[in-house]
Amino acid sequence: MSNHNSFSENVRFIFQEYWSCFYCGKNTADCLHHIVGRGTADSKIESSILNAAPVCNQSCHLPNHGLLKTEEQIKKLLDKTYSFLVSINYKFTELDADFIEKYANYYY
């Protein structure tokens, strides 16, 4: 996975062996997409692992970025990320709880 984004080393580490693209399903994911965006300079909530979705950069992320930002896609990606993290027994943090609270409208 590329480290040319604002996700922490820990977030990138957790997804480093996960190659399935959350958009197309192919085994070629090579970057992490900020599902709800990067947030503002004074907000750290968007750095939560819950905001990360592995995708294929050249074939899915770049040409479909606008589509990835639709409410329907945001909900799908958030659900896939949450389900993946539960499947690996990830221990959710206070930052993750804050993220869910801020973006509850996408979860419920």
Q: Which residues pair with 54 in a beta bridge?
A: 32
Name the helix (H) or strand (E) containing 97. helix 94-102
* Domain locations in the chain as residue ranges: 9-107
The closest of 69, 80, 86 to 22, measured between CA atoms, is 80
pTM reported for the whole predicted model: 0.89
- pLDDT tens, residue order, the chain (108 aa): 444 457 889 999 999 988 999 999 999 999 999 999 988 777 789 999 999 999 999 999 998 988 999 999 999 999 999 999 999 999 999 999 999 999 999 997
| Contact indicator for 28, 21 with CB cutoff of 8 Å | yes
